Structures are given as structure tokens and as C-alpha cells.
Amino acid sequence: MREEERIMKGMLFSPADPELKDIKRKAHHLSQRYSQTFEEQTEERQQIVQQLLGEIGEGGFMQGPIFFHYGVHTRIGHHFFANYNLTIQDDTQVTIGDYTSFGPNVTIVTPVHPLIASERRQMLNQHGELKSLCYAKPVTIGNDVWLSANVTVCGGVTIGDGCVIGAGSVVTRDIPPHSLAAGVPCRVIRSITEADSMRHYPDILADCQVPE
């Protein structure tokens, strides 16, 4: 079994595997190239992203700089927005829905390392060889989600549709749809309801309108 297959099955794998290193090296180079472009270089950015990611929908924008660890393990829907310093350590699958937006310095991390120090150093792999091993848990983020500045999402987490995650939060557990959640660790504060509509804030709404 290839190491990438082991990743997707949630099994221990060797990050130093030559095939995995090739995938990561390509992603790192493409991330660097994207980060060195200017915003008006839309065609070049689009070409880089198509090579970098497993999938990305229409109408997306990533401010840059960006960093993807594997790239090909990330799938992003339509009309995605990411402010600067987006980091996605996608050792395993990361799925992001439509109309989802990230503030600056958002980080998604999927790898998990053993808690016992000696096991973090080395364990015997499937061939009986001493290797540094870890495993990874997928992350799923739904549609219409807003992650505020400096949010970290840990492996194994699902964030439901319509959620807002407060600035500086560390998300370690699932967040149900249409929740306002924040904190370290992140916890649900309350549901988001019609009472949160900008219609109820006329001073802020000013001469703007909420579409019917």
C-alpha cells in the first residue's frame, strides 16, 4: 500500500516517503510562485492554482501569501475568499464549500503526531523499519462560512454551513450549522438567526439595503 493510501485511510504514514516528498515539493514551489505574484496577475494566478489544488470553483480569490503542504488534497468550492497568510497543511483531505471566506492568518492543520515523545521520534513501519510516523484527520468546512482573523482549524473537524468563527479561535471539535462560535478551544456561543440581520441595525445599514 502506497503511503498516500495510508494517509487517506487514517493510518500511520511516513512523511519522508519519496513520493510524498515530491508532491509536497511541487506544492511548496507553486505556493511560493503564487505568493510572489501581484493581484492584477489574475491569469498567472489562475494557472498556478489549477496546478496546485485538487479542485477550485469559479470566482475565488486568495490575497496571498499562501501556503499549501500538499495542495492536491484540498478541494474548494465557488466564490471562495481568503485574506493574506492562508496556511493549509493538507496532509489529508480538506474540503471547503461555496461562498466561504477566511480572514487573515487562517490556518488549517490535518496531521496528528503521537503524544509519547519516543513514539514521535521513531516507530516501526509496516516493513519493520524505524521511521518518523504520523497520521492525519480530514477537515470539512461548509458553505457560507466565515472564519475570522487568526482562526486555527484542527484535524478531524467539520464546520457546518453558515457558521461564523470568532477571531483567534482554535477549533478542535465539530461546529453545528448556523452557529456563532469562538474561543480556545472554540465553543458554540449561540445560533445565528434572523435577529442578526442587518435590517435590525439601521445606523450601520445606512443607505444600503438587504435584498428581498
Question: Can you give the pLDDT at residue 60?
Answer: 95
DSSP class of 13: B
Cell of 58: 469559479
pLDDT digits (tens, 9 = 90+) for 169-187: 999 999 999 999 999 999 9
Cell of 206: 445606512
Is the pLDDT at 108 greater than 90, yes or no?
yes
Q: What percent of the chain has pLDDT over 70?
A: 100
Question: Can you give the pLDDT at residue 177?
Answer: 98
Provide the annotated active-site residues: 113
pTM greater than 0.75 (yes/no)? yes
Question: Can you give the pLDDT at residue 76?
Answer: 98
Question: Can you give the pLDDT at residue 166?
Answer: 98
Average pLDDT taken over every residue of the chain: 97
Question: Can you give the pLDDT at residue 197?
Answer: 96
Q: Which domains does the chain have, with CATH numbers?
A: 3-188 (2.160.10.10)
Q: Say which residue the cell 480572514 belongs to.
A: 103
pLDDT digits (tens, 9 = 90+) for 117-160: 999 999 999 999 999 999 999 999 999 999 999 999 999 999 99
Question: Can you give the pLDDT at residue 26?
Answer: 98
Cell of 88: 493549509
Q: What is the DSSP string of 76-124?
A: E-SS-EE-SSEEEE-SS-EEE-TT-EE-TT-EEE-EE--SSHHHHH-EE
Question: Can you give the pLDDT at residue 212?
Answer: 83
Q: What percent of the chain has pLDDT over 90?
A: 99
Read off the pLDDT of each residue in 164-169 and give the average, rounded to a whole number.
98
Cell of 36: 510572489
